[in-house]
Amino acid sequence: MKYIIGIGVTNGGKTTLTNRLIKNLPNCCVVHQDDFFKPRDQIEVGEDGFKQYDCLLKLWRPVSFVICMQNRHNLTLNPLIDVLNQRYFISIPYEECKKRRKYMVPDPPGLFDGHVWPMYLQHKNIMEESAVDVQLDGTKSKEQLFNFVYGDILNYIQKSL
C-alpha cells in the first residue's frame, strides 16, 4: 500500500513534525521541496524585489514536505498535489510566524512582510480553496501536533486495509 501526505507552512513546525513522523512510521521516505531549488543565481526575482523561493516548483506548491510510506524509487510526483492521500496545512498567526523566523543568516530587511507573509497567505488561500484535508493550529505544542497527525495517519491506513 502507498500512502502519501503533504505538510505545508512556513515556520510552523513542519520539519519537527515530519522528523517525528518518519521515526514512527515504517518504510518512509521524505521529499523536501528545499532539495529541488535551482542554484541561487538562477532563482528569479519577483515584482516584490525578493528571490521567489516559494514560487519555483509549481507542481509542489504549497506543500513543502511529503512523507511517502513506500520505496521512494516507485514514487510518481507529477503533479504532486493530485497524488496526496492526505494534505495538512499548519496555520500560524503573523506574530508567531515572525517570531519563529530565526536563521543563521538573517532575512534581508522587508523580506518577511514583503514576501514571506504574503506567500503564506497565498498558500493558505490555495489550500482552503482546494479543500485541504486538515488545517492544524501551529500554536499547539509539538507533541499535540504529532499526536494528532500520527493518529490521523494510522486511522486512515487502518480504514484503507
Catalytic residues: 34
Query: DSSP secondary-structure letter at 85?
Result: S
Nearest to 143 by CA among 22, 13, 32, 29: 13
CB-CB contact of 103 with 148 (8 Å): no
CB-CB contact of 5 with 87 (8 Å): yes
Judged by DSSP in three states, 134 sits in strand
Partnered with residue 135 across adjacent β-strands are 89
Cell numbers 484535508 correspond to: 133
Tell me the one-letter amino acid at 105. V
